[in-house]
Amino acid sequence: MTGEIGVMFNIPQPYTVRSRRLSQVIRINHHHFKQMVKPYSEDGKAIISNFTQ
């Protein structure tokens, strides 16, 4: 996973990612990420807490 901090805090990350094997890339913007984790708000709070420690 790359760019998870950028998605969570809506901060662009200037990364270039390379893989050794054929891979699938999923691009999720901040708004859609928030909508996905909204039903699991307690889990989302724990995830954000872990990143901010």
pLDDT digits (tens, 9 = 90+) for 4-40: 777 777 888 888 888 899 998 888 888 887 787 777 7
Domain extent, residue 48, equals: 1-9+27-53
Residue 14 lies in a domain: no
Does any domain span residue 19? no
> SS3 sequence, the chain?
CCCHHHHHHCCCCCCCCCCCCCCCCCCCCHHHHHHHHHHHHHHHHHHHHHHHC
Residue with tokens 């996973």: 1
Residue 22 lies in a domain: no
How far is the CA of 39 from the CAs of 10, 16, 29, 34, 36, in angstroms? 19, 32, 17, 9, 7
Q: Does 21 map to a domain?
A: no
> How confident is the model at residue 15, as a pLDDT?
80
Q: Confirm if 6 and 13 have CB atoms less than 8 A apart.
A: yes
Q: pLDDT at residue 1 above 70?
A: no
What integer pLDDT is reported at residue 20 of this predicted model? 94
Is 17 a member of any domain?
A: no
Q: How many domains does the chain have?
A: 1
